[in-house]
Amino acid sequence: MDSDIRIDTKTVHQKPVDYPVHPISTPIFSSSTFVLEDADHGARLSSLQPAEGKSKYLYSRWGNPTTDVAADMINQLESGHRTFVAATGMAAISTSLFSLLKSGDHLVAATNIYGGTYEVVTKVLPQYGIEVTLVDGTKPEEFERAIRPTTRVIYAETPANPTMSISDLATIAELGRLNGIVTMVDSTFASPYNQNPIQFGFNMVLHSATKYLGGHSDIISGSITVDGEELEKKVFQTLKLFGGTMSPFDAFLLIRGIKTLAVRMERHNQNALAIAQFLESHPKVSRVYYPGLESHPQHELVKRQMRGFGGMIAFEVEGGMNAAKKLIENVKIITLAVSLGGVESLIEHAASMTHTMVPKEERERAGITDGLIRLSVGIESAEDLIQDLKQVLATI
Ligand code: LCS
C-alpha cells in the first residue's frame, strides 16, 4: 500500500486473499460480500446469470463457499438435485412452506410433527390465508381424503417427534405425484444415514441439521433438499429473500459433524436398539416406542423404508407424570435437556417441553401422554446407559 495513504484507509484494506493453497478442511469464508472483477460480473450475478470463468459469489445471503460445501455434502447424502442450508431447522421448514404456498392454497399436514412445525402450520400459515387440514400421519388414506383442487403441498415427518410413528413414504409420494402436489418430509429423526425419502419419490427433504447431521449439540441449523430445478428456483428465491441463510461459522461445524455421521449413526442405532429392548422387558415400563422393535405397530413398513432405526426412543413408565418427572430428574449419565441427535444422551418430557404448544386433546390422540418420556440415545457405552436407567427405575 502507498506510504502516503492515511491510517484510517490502511486499517480497513488488506492485501486481497489469493488461494493457491488446498486445505484438507474447508475454511470459514466469513465474508458478507465478494470482490467483483468488473461491472458486467456484478450485473450478471445480480440477474442470476452465469459469469463464465469468474467467481460465482456475489453476497453471502445468496450463497457462500463454506455454506455451499455443507449443502453439497447433504445433497450427496440425500441423492438430491440441490440442497440449501438454513440458519435453523425452523428456517428450513418455513422457507420451504412459504416458497410453495400462497393465499387460497391448501396444505395437508400430518398431526404427528415437531411442536414448532405444528405451530407454523396451525397458527402462522392460516394468518396468510393458507388453509390447512391435519391428518394422522400414519394413514395415507387420510392424506388422500383431505386432498382438494387447491392442495399444493403434502407435509409429513417420519419417524415423528416424539412418538416414532411412521409415514409411508412410497404411498404418500405416489399420492402427490398422481395429484400434482409437492410432497415434503421432515427426515430429521432418521438422518440421511438411515433414510432417503427422495428414493421413495418425495420431492423435498428437510432436516433440522442441529440434530444428527451436526451431531455435537453445538449449532442450530437446517437443510432443504429438492428433487428438481423448479423447486430449486422457488426455494432459492424464498431463502435469499426471507434471509434464513446459514452462517459460515455454523457451516464449518456442520461440515465437521457430517464427516463422522456414519460412525455416529451406526452406534446410535446399536445403542438405541439395546436400550429399547431393555426398557421393553422392564416391569415398570408400560410402553416403548422404537421403530426397531418388532412390537412397533409399523415395524414392517419401517424395514421397507429405513436402513437403520435411529437413536430416538419414547417410553411410558408406570405412575404417569410424577414417575416420569422423577425419572428424568434422577438419571446420572443421561442429561435432562431438550433437543436430540448429539453424541451425548438427552432425556425430556414431551408433553410439557417440546410439544407443550400442541393442545392436550391433540397430544393424547397422537400418543403424547403426560407420562411419555423421550430419550435421545447418544454414543456412550450402552451398558452404562442401561445401568443409569436401571438405577432410577428401581426408585420409582
Ligand atoms: N424438525 C424436528 C423433527 C425437530 O425435532 C426440530 C427441533 C425441528 C424440526 C426444528 O429445528 P431447529 O430449528 O430447532 O433446528 N426439535 C427440538 C426438540 O425436539 N427439542 O428441542 C428442539
What pLDDT digit, counting tens, does each position of 176-210 carry? 999 999 999 999 999 999 999 999 999 999 999 99
Q: Which of 237, 259, 281 is the last residue of a domain?
A: 259
Q: Is 61 a catalytic residue?
A: yes
User: In the predicted model, what is the mean pLDDT of the chain?
Assistant: 96
Flag whether 1 is in a domain. Answer: no
Residue that terminates a domain, selected from 207, 238, 259: 259
* Residue 250 and residue 288 share a domain: no
Q: Looking at the structure, do residues 210 and 79 belong to the same domain, yes or no?
A: yes
Could you tell me if 71 and 85 are in contact, meaning their C-beta atoms sit under 8 angstroms apart? Answer: yes
Indicate whether residue 71 lines ligand 1 (CB < 6 A): no
> Does 101 share its domain with 213?
yes
Whether residue 279 is found in the same domain as residue 299: yes
Note whether 40 and 143 are same-domain residues: yes
What's the CA gap between 230 and 180, in Å, rounded?
13
- Report d(CA 135, CA 245) in Å as an integer: 31
The parent domain of residue 241 ranges over 7-259
pTM for the structure as a whole: 0.97
Average pLDDT, integer, range 329-355: 95
Residue nearest to atom 4 of ligand 1 (CA): 114
Ligand 1, closest atom to CA 90? Answer: 13
CATH number at residue 107: 3.40.640.10
Q: Could you tell me if residue 162 is inside a domain? A: yes
Which DSSP letter does residue 108 get? E
Domain membership flag for residue 81 = yes
Contact between residue 276 and residue 314 where contact means Cβ atoms under 8 Å apart: no
Q: Which residues pair with 243 in a beta bridge?
A: none
113-169 pLDDT, tens digit per residue, is: 999 999 999 999 999 999 999 999 999 999 999 999 999 999 999 999 999 999 999
Q: Are residues 253 and 269 in the same domain?
A: no
User: Does 69 score more than 90 pLDDT?
Assistant: yes
What would the pLDDT profile of 239-276 be if each residue is shown by its tens digit? 999 999 999 999 999 999 999 999 999 999 999 999 99
pLDDT-derived band at 1 (thresholds 50, 70, 90) equals low
Answer yes or no: do 207 and 274 share one domain.
Answer: no
Q: Quick one: 162 and 265 in the same domain?
A: no
**137 located within any domain:** yes
| 256 belongs to the catalytic site | no
CA distance 297 to 318: 21
Residues 163 and 185 in one domain: yes
Ligand 1, residue 189: give the atom nearest the CA. 3
Atom of ligand 1 nearest to the CA of 209: 15
Grid cell listed for 139: 394413514
Contact 164, 189 (CB under 8 A): yes
Residue 359 lies in a domain: yes
> Which residues have CB under 8 Å from 244's CB, separation 6+?
86, 87, 88, 91, 92, 94, 95, 222
The one-letter amino acid code at 365 reads R
What residue owns the CA closest to ligand 1's atom 10? 89
Out of 166, 211, 246, give the residue to mutate to test ligand 1, the one with the largest number of ligand atoms within 8 Å of its CB.
211
Q: How many domains does the chain have?
A: 2
Contact indicator for 110, 135 with CB cutoff of 8 Å:
yes
**Are 214 and 313 in the same domain?**
no
Instruction: Please indicate whether residue 339, judged by its CB atom, sits closer than 6 Å to ligand 1.
Output: yes
Q: Name which residue sits closest to atom 12 of ligand 1, judged by CA.
A: 89
- Cβ-proximal residues to 216 (8 Å cutoff; 6+ apart), any chain: 253, 257, 342, 343
Boundary (domain end) residue, out of 259, 293, 327 = 259
Residue 357 inside a domain? The answer is yes
**Domain CATH code at residue 383:** 3.90.1150.10
Per-residue confidence band for 18, with pLDDT thresholds at 50, 70 and 90? low
Residue partners of 214: CB distance under 8 A and separation at least 6: 221, 253, 254, 257, 341, 342
> Do residues 100 and 194 share a domain?
yes
* Active-site hit among 114, 193, 212, 290: 114
Question: Would residue 114 show up in a list of annotated catalytic residues for this protein?
Answer: yes
115 lies in a domain? Answer: yes
Q: Are residues 233 and 289 in the same domain?
A: no
Among 68, 105, 168, 186, which one carries the catalytic annotation?
186
Q: What percent of the chain has pLDDT over 90?
A: 90
Catalytic residue, candidates 54, 59, 61, 326: 61
The rounded Å distance from CA 316 to ligand 1 centre is 21
Asked if the structure places residue 2 within a domain, the reply is no
How many CA atoms are closer than 13 Å to the CA of 12, on its beta-carbon side? 3
Per the annotation, the verdict on 284 as an active-site residue is no
